[in-house]
Amino acid sequence: MGGVLAYAAGLVGEISDDIVNIDRAMRWGFAWKRGPFELIDDIGHDTLAAILERSGEPLPAMLRVARDAGASTFHDGDRFLGLDGHWHDIPD
């Protein structure tokens, strides 16, 4: 599962400008109960980053953004962490 989550984290800015729409695509299009960034929030982006680093895998940009921003999660109530390292309102 870590590989899938890392893959999703690498798609921000490529197939979607934000994590919200990647989460929604997986929930709505593939019937996931939780999107990949919601799952990363559950396990901790620092935990996923450590797993990737130990296995020699590159760290996706979105994981670097979260680390550099000092964020503990990708979601904070009605806001999400953007690729720019700032918090944004979750759109309807």
Average pLDDT of the residues of the chain: 96
Q: Encoding tokens for residue 5?
A: 């989550």
pLDDT at 2: 83
Q: For residue 74, is pLDDT > 90? A: yes
User: Could you state, in order of their start, the residue ranges of all structural domains in the chain?
Assistant: 2-89
Average pLDDT over residues 35-57: 96
Average pLDDT over residues 1-30: 94
Residues 2-89: name the CATH superfamily.
N-(1-d-carboxylethyl)-l-norvaline Dehydrogenase; domain 2 (1.10.1040.10)
Percent of the chain with pLDDT over 90: 96
pLDDT at 1: 79
Contacts of 59 (CB under 8 A, 6+ apart): 49, 52, 53
pLDDT at 71: 97
